[in-house]
Chain A
């Protein structure tokens, strides 16, 4: 089965840039979506189809996808960005989530 690997945690200083990777075999050939989940809340979509932001998501959130790695970038990190982040793809009509990354803003 297809697997997506994310770092367990990423720390970023307030106002700096955080990059969260999502590794998968030839993931560049798939559409990657990213979700933010704050403590005790339901997940929220922050990036769809590699690099598109839904309405209401700040421009500070951006995404890229190439080769075996997709990346979610959070620029000018704010305290409110502290959350778990998950990447997601479809493989043979099966949904696959990444292992999840906890982002801490210092």
Chain B
């Protein structure tokens, strides 16, 4: 079955960097666009970034643009989110999710991983 497992979260000081990973299994990873979505404690969902199936197209939320880079390694079936210059406002559970259709469709998010918590604090 399709499975997404995030890792890399933890406590990080303001201004530092962190790289999140999302290990994919149960489907042909190189055929699907992938997403990152985050949720601050007690708050709603916020879309963060999208990457096309082949990595050629990427887009970011304005709140992270210039500080965050989404990437993928199809040889490892893994999605990444490199986050730099972290602030307290980046504290959240970060979820990865798959697009439902092969190619680059900007569809819906299904399925989701279980999430990894990033806490930015001194």
CA distance A81 to B91 in the complex (A): 28
Tally chain A residues at the interface, Cβ within 8 Å.
24
Chain B interface residue number, banded: 20 to 34
Are A100 and B114 within 8 A (Cβ)? no
Contact with B along A61-82 (1 / 0, CB 8 A): 0000000000000000000000
Are B59 and A94 within 8 A (Cβ)? yes
CA distance A97 to B39 in the complex (A): 11
Q: Does B9 contact A (CB under 8 A)?
A: no
Are A88 and B59 within 8 A (Cβ)? no
Contact with B along A19-38 (1 / 0, CB 8 A): 00000000000010101010
CA distance A100 to B42 in the complex (A): 11
Count of inter-chain pairs, beta carbons less than 8 A: 61
CA distance A45 to B35 in the complex (A): 14
Q: Closest residue of chain A to B93, judged by CB?
A: A42
**How distant is A60 from chain B, measured CB to nearest CB, in Å?**
19
Which listed residue (A49, A54, A99) contacts B44, Cβ 8 A? A99
Which listed residue (B45, B50, B62) contacts A43, Cβ 8 A? B45
CA distance A88 to B37 in the complex (A): 12
A interface secondary structure, majority = strand
Contact with A along B11-45 (1 / 0, CB 8 A): 00000000000000000000000010100000011
Q: Closest residue of chain A to B108, judged by CB?
A: A33
Are B115 and A42 within 8 A (Cβ)? yes
B-side residues, CB < 8 A to A, are 35, 37, 44-47, 50, 59, 61-62, 95, 100, 106-115
> 9 smallest A-B Cβ distances: which pairs?
A95-B47, A33-B108, A45-B110, A100-B44, A42-B112, A97-B45, A48-B108, A90-B106, A93-B59
20 residue pairs A–B, Cβ–Cβ below 8 Å? A31-B107, A33-B107, A33-B109, A42-B112, A43-B37, A43-B45, A43-B112, A44-B112, A45-B108, A45-B109, A48-B100, A86-B45, A88-B109, A90-B106, A94-B47, A94-B62, A95-B35, A96-B47, A97-B37, A99-B44
